[in-house]
Amino acid sequence: MTELKVLFTREQIAARVAELGQQISRDFAGEPVVLVGVLKGAAIFLSDLSRQIDLDSTFDFISVSSYGRQKQNSGEVKLLKDVDQSMEDKNVILVEDILDTGLTMAYLRKMILAHHPRAFRIAALLDKKCRRQQPIDADYTGFEIPDEFVVGYGMDYAERYRNLPDICVVE
């Protein structure tokens, strides 16, 4: 049996997401932004974050997979779905659920920077800083967490648990 222990409640998540939204609204005041969500894990974070951003904004989505991942990231990234529009001269905020080794984000950053956006920022709900293999950091971070496997609020374990309203540790 998989045991789930609550790490962040829905109330804690909502409060932090609201703060991140306010910060982004201040930083890009008067300018439009494109929120690029990394499927599927960031879908719920993006939908909540976007409603806390008081700016003219549009959505786009990108999908990647790592070969042979279970709980472990193999280090190889494969692009499954690219953005629909060019990011040239746009204020791009890449929205991700977790920054772990940083391999996915380093790959996506390189890809998006090749479009020559006006600005590029990363918003990551969670950050497992201690796991980093690539030198990359988020500009907007929800919570820093230890090296534990988490699910809920969009995040999965073998595709399950994405719909849990709280963020839980799998034990």
- Kindly list the residues in this chain that would bind ligand IMP in the complex (CB under 6 A): 41, 73, 96-105, 149-151, 155
Choose from ligand IMP, Mg ion, none: what does 155 bind? Cβ within 5-8 Å by kind: ligand IMP
Count of H-run helices and E-run strands, the chain: 3, 9
Mark whether 156 is an active-site residue: no
Element (H, E) at 39: strand 33-39
Comparing CB distances to ligand IMP, the nearer of 35 and 151 is 151
Number of residues that bind Mg ion (CB under 5 A): 3
3-state class (DSSP) for residue 151: strand
Catalytic residue among 48, 60, 97, 100: 100
Distance CA 52, CA 34 (A): 14
Comparing CB distances to ligand IMP, the nearer of 25 and 111 is 111
User: Residue 91's closest CA among 30, 10, 163?
Assistant: 30
| 102 belongs to the binding site for Mg ion (CB under 5 A) | no
Whether residue 40 has a cis bond before it, omega within 30° of 0: yes
Choose from ligand IMP, Mg ion, none: what does 46 bind? Cβ within 5-8 Å by kind: none
**Which residues are annotated as catalytic?**
100
